Structure 1
Amino acid sequence: MKQLLTLILLSAVCAGSFAQKEMFMSQYMHNRFAINTAFAGSAETLSAMAAVRRQWAGNPESPKAQYLSMHAPLKNDNVALGLAVFNENVAIAKNTGLTAAYAYRVNTGKMQKLAFSISAGFYTTKLNWSQVDLIDDTDPAFGDNETLTEPVLGFGVSWYSNSFFVGFSTPDIFYRRSFNNESPSLELSEIDYLFTAGYLFPLSEALAVQPSFLLRMNPSGSNIADLSGTFIYNSTFLLGAAYRTNSELIAIAGWQATPQLMIAYSYDYPTGDLSNMSSGSHEISLKYNFGYKINTANPRFF
């Protein structure tokens, strides 16, 4: 079973991972910079976030990912900068990336901003073929370990305020088909497009609800949507649920421990074919806002 799962995951890596160079995150609604760099500076202070994700827990070869980011507006409030580091281990593959972002923001109303961003960096994949159990150890198809490093270039646009957010992004416009001597190419049919939006509805002085969605689109037809709803109590506790269209149910819980520190956890439960192979996926994130200079009606969640 271990060898079979390794080959399944390896096939997924070789076939599709080169097109997706951002962390697959269930808590996107509170970590929007991770999916769209145009949200850089949206906390109106230096904001740092760390997240870890264990995909398909219960399988030793399942993906494990770590993500770290920082972003902040400059003294010139129209400009914001951000930096993100990403690491993922999938079976015999180790994926690492670093991205720097520049966002230009324009005031469109009271506490409303329209932002445009460009991001650039690199993405490295290492394949450790020595970890594959082979019947024939001399098989030339499984020879030396391989390393591939390629550029990353992305764009984003966002519009947000103290009560809503809307965003569109292309995390990377480059695509590479396989480990060979091809240079990264621009193929519109292989670019991932991300749409996200959310709105905060006050229900009372202490309770609010935030519906949101994230749509990952690819012209080839591999589209996935997250439909989410989160209740926020006293701007301190949050509890929510989501449905992902690849047959996953998601539960999300969070705690604003201090005005600066937020802790969140999510659990993804597979209801499709993976339900027999996995006990679910776990994601934990920590977000810290330095200085706490946030001028929003609900600073902890917007």
Structure 2
Amino acid sequence: MIQRLLPPLAALALAACGGSPADPGPPPDARLDQANRAGSQALSMDMPSLAVRQYKTALQRAYERDDAGAIADVSYNLALAQMRAGDAKAAIGTVHDAQRDLERRRAPVPAELFLVLAAASYRAGDLAAADGAAQDALSRTSGDSDTAPRAWFIRGLVAAQRGDGAALAQAIAALPPSKQADLQADREELEGRAALLGNRPAEALALLQRAAANRRQALDYRGMARALASAADAALRAGQAAEAADLLLRAGRSALLQGDTATALPLLRRAEETARQTGQTGIVDEVARLRRTAAERTAAK
């Protein structure tokens, strides 16, 4: 994932991309390791802005010591933190800088870097770049068994957005059922989108609600909000406008509380419009309260 688009696009796991046992590379650098650990701790505490600052310090040290493995590792971590902070374009720039550096020295570009590039590109709305980077991730060997499923998930999201049912079916086939909540949510979300493409909104609604529940179980709240919003679309197509208003409210409220106002406000506007049509005054009042909260937070910055 794409936020954790993986998730977070459900999540992109922090991956080690350094030397092999036969080539252990240079000895550890205490300043680099300390900044990298601090960034990971901040990210685990849902403090992405602080994580970005710490990873930038670590990345500067990695370039200072001219360590290709550390540059790849920390660039991945920094790009992930930048995505969590809502800056997909900065994440794309971070990956491109690392990619150019590694290619100049003829060092391999890890699959995980292409994965986070795919997620950031999808978040930025560049479907062609997202699909290409996901394919690049799939074409490389990864030490993380989750990399390929994450890449297929992004390819599936792209296919769904393009209305390409055949490519979406291929992505779903590459994602077997899983006991891991976030991976199962990936499959359910793609199945839900396929059901929408196939004009089966009731089936889509059930699948997308299950996906949202699994995102919650995986602590992937950005992905949960995305699944709830998609479930609202399915509810509307199934003629369940009252259910759609509730789902839109829940998706928008979660996104707002995550600090993602760009995603939240359109969802809350749709929730209000739908709730007015269905006479759900409680939802209208809640949207008004949330908008005041958003305005107060903006004024306090």
Instruction: Give the TM-score normalised by structure 2.
Output: 0.24
Which one has more relative contact order, counting CA pairs under 8 Å at least 6 apart?
1
Which structure: greater strand fraction? 1
